[in-house]
């Protein structure tokens, strides 16, 4: 296989990956605590879309939601970095 064939394959793979990312962005996943007092929605690309905290939770709801979002955002960024470290070379 020549270099030009390899470049064609690489470009096709990149386009497929971009299409997958676009499709995943339209997906949503909702998780909730066992008692359903906290709900979190992520898109298919693992971006936090919303955090909902029910009134039954004692304390500052905004602070609780902010803490959860910050935690999930941190985990998401670490996940993306891990994926880039493991698979980034495949996409270059």
State pLDDT tens for residues 6-63.
777 888 888 888 887 887 777 788 888 888 888 888 887 888 888 888 888 777 788 7
Tally the domains of the chain.
1
What is the CATH classification number for the domain harbouring 23?
Answer: 3.30.1310
- Written as six digits, the tokens of 59 are 């304390």
Distances (CA, A) of 7 to 2, 69, 91: 9, 40, 12
- pLDDT given for residue 90 in this prediction: 56
- pLDDT given for residue 87 in this prediction: 63
d(CA 20, CA 66): 30
The mean-pLDDT minimum among 48-52, 56-60, 78-82, 85-89 falls in 85-89
- pLDDT given for residue 79 in this prediction: 74
What residues make up the domain containing 77? 3-91
User: For the whole prediction, is pTM greater than 0.85?
Assistant: no
């Amino acid at each position: 296989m020549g270099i030009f064939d390899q470049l064609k394959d690489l470009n096709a793979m990149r386009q497929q990956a971009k299409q997958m990312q676009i499709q995943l962005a339209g997906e949503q996943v909702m998780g909730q605590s066992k008692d359903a007092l906290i709900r979190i929605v992520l898109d298919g690309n693992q971006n936090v879309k919303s955090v909902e905290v029910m009134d039954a939770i004692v304390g500052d709801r905004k602070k609780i939601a902010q803490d959860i979002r910050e935690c999930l955002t941190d985990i998401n960024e670490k996940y993306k970095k891990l994926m880039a470290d493991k698979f980034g070379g495949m996409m270059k």
